[in-house]
Structure 1
């Protein structure tokens, strides 16, 4: 990763909901650990089916500025030296965040928004960005009825046979280093496999961990080969995990279109933050 890339901000969506404020806290810790700015963004969707009149738009902009101000206070509550930028945008929400992802090191969203319509928009935004974002994204989830992200537990890496395994392991080890916890690398196959296939998968994970271990030597890693399908196994692990890292698509252990099954399930059912790894961390 170039020094220019390393200076790109952590971008977080702000909409005034409790979920987005949890995301702001989580993103602030990321930005502090990565030594990059935090960028707070509120998008007024002016391209939906309910066009704003001038007075409504002015009111929405005033509300957006207040929400950004409150988010900044939360972001700097534990580190007032953190560099924080604020941006109020108009346009289509999905497109705005895809454009922002071009210059971000990480894009962070809450799992739900404020009110029915916003929840619907934010849910579709998270899924859309899992497909189209140009950087790694994190959707900040918690357990049902307790949406605050967990502050203990391991980082789980869902590792398949594709080239994305390298990105997933590197991202998960970086996240474990930032959160000062351990990592569990999970290869979950969809059907019964052979001992030889399991050992091949374990050996591949071990080689990736050894490569990344030079950059993140303090991170302890455990490898698990599971017979349960990836969706079922990762959702179950999310109940005790600090976060889960998966690739943007996969096959083999995560065969078929990952975004159409495992990632989508995690985005709506995981009990911890879900990180969809796209940007490669340089070893």
Structure 2
């Protein structure tokens, strides 16, 4: 099919809030591309996801103009530079579209001038999903292993999926579950709800695996008294995750749900699960565990070492959260910023 190019997208002010009952989101599944093989892997996964949910696929490439030390730069030269960079982006989009091959999915392409992460955030206001690879050549994907990896998932207005190179192949034909990492926070519960929806939407419906992790106390915090009962702490965490699963099961009675408390570092647990999961889901903010990690330096570990697609779900109010307390113990600590 022939892709349609346009420059640029209509921006949405980051300070504006979308109204309730927002109509169908026009960009569908958005993927940032920069011409790298990792970018192509993300586009392949995004195309399949767009087909699965019957949405268009929007390929976006962005560029920034170099900053010259002198203000006395010939305006004509600047214009030529702008045109050349835009043309390079168009060529990248054309090559990516060709690599994706024939498809019934509507493919749209756009060239944008601006910081790649900010461009993606702008698109997220009217997108069902953002997709990118965790590494690249310094464009969209390269930013995700730098400081922007902390900002993009938190700033995006829709879920963000990171697809490592080599993980673009479908795992639908396997027994792979959708995995959700939860730390007991409200943000973690939002991620659980989205993960359950993702599991039900996949054909055939796959099971949902809910995990949480407890890092070894004795080795991590040596100043704690020796009387600390790690087994009791582990059992308490297991009771809380089981209560969360009971709550989730009532909202999704047809879904097969399993849970496990993993003895280990949360980020390591996410990375290990991503190797065999159909999709691994985490939240953007929380108590310093899975969700909180995405705002700290450990986000680098998830972004750099995940072995399968990881969906990062932004927090949003959900009426289904209101009855969680009826199902048993919760972590009642306030989330940290």
Matched, 1:70 2:95: yes
Are the equivalent residues in 1 in contact too, given 2:267–2:301 (CA < 8 A)? yes
Count of aligned positions: 272
String of CA shifts for 1:187-206, please: whole Å, max 9, x gaps.
Answer: 11234315244212211123
Within 2, Cα distance between the matches of 1:245 and 1:12? 18
Within 1, Cα distance between the matches of 2:135 and 2:298? 19
String of CA shifts for 1:179-236, please: whole Å, max 9, x gaps.
Answer: 643321101123431524421221112312331x25xx4x532211122121121222
Are the equivalent residues in 2 in contact too, given 1:46–1:92 (CA < 8 A)? no
Matched, 1:157 2:176: no
Do the aligned partners of residues 111 and 100 (structure 1) sit closer, same or farther apart at CA in structure 2, a change above 3 Å counting? same
String of CA shifts for 1:18-64, please: whole Å, max 9, x gaps.
Answer: 11111111111222222222211111122667998444432222221
Within 2, Cα distance between the matches of 1:8 and 1:57? 25
Are the equivalent residues in 2 in contact too, given 1:150–1:241 (CA < 8 A)? no
Larger radius of gyration: 2
- Equivalent residue, structure 2, for 1:250: 286
Of residues 86, 92, 104, the one that matches 2:127 is 104
Segments of structure 2 that go 5 or more residues without pairing to the other structure are 1-19, 218-229, 321-337
Are the equivalent residues in 2 in contact too, given 1:11–1:106 (CA < 8 A)? yes
Note the C-alpha offset of 1:107: 0.8
State the SS of the aligned residue for 1:161.
Answer: coil
Matched, 1:15 2:2: no
RMSD: 3.0
Are the equivalent residues in 2 in contact too, given 1:162–1:252 (CA < 8 A)? no
Note the C-alpha offset of 1:130: 1.8
- Equivalent residue, structure 1, for 2:162: 139
Residue correspondence of structure 1 range 172-183 to structure 2 within 5 A: 172-176=195-199, 177-178=201-202, 180=204, 181-183=206-208
Note the C-alpha offset of 1:244: 1.4
- Equivalent residue, structure 1, for 2:224: none
Note the C-alpha offset of 1:250: 1.3
Are the equivalent residues in 1 in contact too, given 2:30–2:127 (CA < 8 A)? yes
State the SS of the aligned residue for 2:131.
Answer: strand
Segments of structure 1 that go 5 or more residues without pairing to the other structure are none
Note the C-alpha offset of 1:83: 2.1
Of residues 284, 302, 308, the one that matches 1:272 is 308
Within 2, Cα distance between the matches of 1:282 and 1:49? 51
Residue correspondence of structure 1 range 126-275 to structure 2 within 5 A: 126-142=149-165, 147-152=166-171, 153-176=176-199, 177-178=201-202, 180=204, 181-190=206-215, 191=217, 192=230, 193-211=233-251, 213=252, 217=254, 219-251=255-287, 254=290, 257-275=293-311
Q: What TM-score does the superposition give when structure 2 sets the normalisation length?
A: 0.70
- Equivalent residue, structure 2, for 1:38: 57
String of CA shifts for 1:247-271, please: whole Å, max 9, x gaps.
Answer: 1011175485542155332111111
Do the aligned partners of residues 47 and 60 (structure 1) sit closer, same or farther apart at CA in structure 2, a change above 3 Å counting? closer
- Equivalent residue, structure 1, for 2:145: 123
